[in-house]
Amino acid sequence: MLSMHLPSPPRRVFVYGTLRRGQSNDINRKLPAPKYLGRARVNGVMYHLGAYPGVVLGGPRWVQGEVYEVTPALEFALDELEGVLPTPTGEYFKREVPVSWAGQSARCLVYEINPLFLNDREEILSGDWCNASP
């Protein structure tokens, strides 16, 4: 009996820091190329971690970002970049949360900082990494 493996469908990811357009790890320079879907925001608190931010989801504030459709191969590369590990010691946790953009809504992957990495880091009150000063 032949087993058929259907390709995994693309997933959506919400990026808020160095993966945003024009930033140091711009997701648009990654391969396979993602598909830009629009600007969005999620509830969360953004922290300045030096060369990049981290977000804790939830709370009274908003985090600005962009939504992309990514292939499983690119999702795997993003997991490696963000230090997602199958243990609670990874720098980021991968979460799936509802996100709305341009009249659409879907569950999107978001890389949430592990609170163990915050160590009294300063909040970015604007919630926008592209406009945050170091």
Selected residue with higher pLDDT from 1 and 10? 10
State which fold the 11-128 domain adopts. Answer: Hypothetical upf0131 protein ytfp (3.10.490)
* Percent of the chain residues topping a pLDDT of 70: 93
- Domain boundary assignment for the chain: 11-128
Q: Which of 119, 107, 113 is nearest to 42 (CA)?
A: 107
Distance of CA 56 to the CA centre of its chain: 11
Which token pair is 47? Answer: 């922290």
* Percent of the chain residues topping a pLDDT of 90: 75
Looking at the predicted structure, is the pLDDT value of residue 90 above 90? Answer: no
